[in-house]
Amino acid sequence: MEQSDLNRFQEILEAWRKELLGQAGGAVSRLADMEEKSPDPSDRASFEEGRDYLIRIRSRESRLIRKINEALKRIEDGSYGSCETCGEEIGIGRLQARPVTTYCIECKTRMEAEEKTYGTGG
């Protein structure tokens, strides 16, 4: 992969991480704002449902931030864009669609077919 491509992906990943980290700070303040001391069971249930939803979203975003950080490390160590399974180069189109991916389309397709066939959660 050319250095210009690596630089472009590094910029994309850093901007994505910055956006997610900014959203995380807003979520914490929204959770604090949502805290309600209402004795009404319906209001409490609504509050808890909203809180649980935000927590699930934050959890997913936390995992994505970890994947972004790992991708940035791969850019630094020179392994970005190589499939973890077969070692072949991951296509630019796949990286554009999913910049944190670690598998080429062939290996990922095979893994998903095996998961579907054998019911594994890899």
Kindly report, residue by residue over 70-116, the tens digit of the pLDDT: 999 999 999 999 999 999 999 999 999 999 999 999 999 999 999 99
For residues 68, 73, 75, 76, the Cα torsion angle rounded to the nearest 10 degrees is 150
The answer to whether 82 and 88 have CB atoms below 8 angstroms apart is: yes
Residue 16 structure tokens: 């994505």
Query: Which residue would you say has higher pLDDT here, 21 or 38?
Result: 21
C-alpha span between 5 and 113 (Å, rounded): 30
Q: How high is the pLDDT of residue 37?
A: 60
For residues 12, 80, 95, 85, the Cα torsion angle rounded to the nearest 10 degrees is -150
Please enumerate in sequence order all residues whose Cβ is within 8 A of that of 77, keeping only pairs 6 or more positions apart, or say none.
none
Domain boundaries, the chain: 1-80, 81-122
pLDDT digits (tens, 9 = 90+) for 30-55: 556 555 566 777 777 777 787 788 88
Q: How high is the pLDDT of residue 33?
A: 59
The CATH fold of domain 1-80: Four Helix Bundle (Hemerythrin (Met), subunit A) (1.20.120)
Residue 78 structure tokens: 């020179």
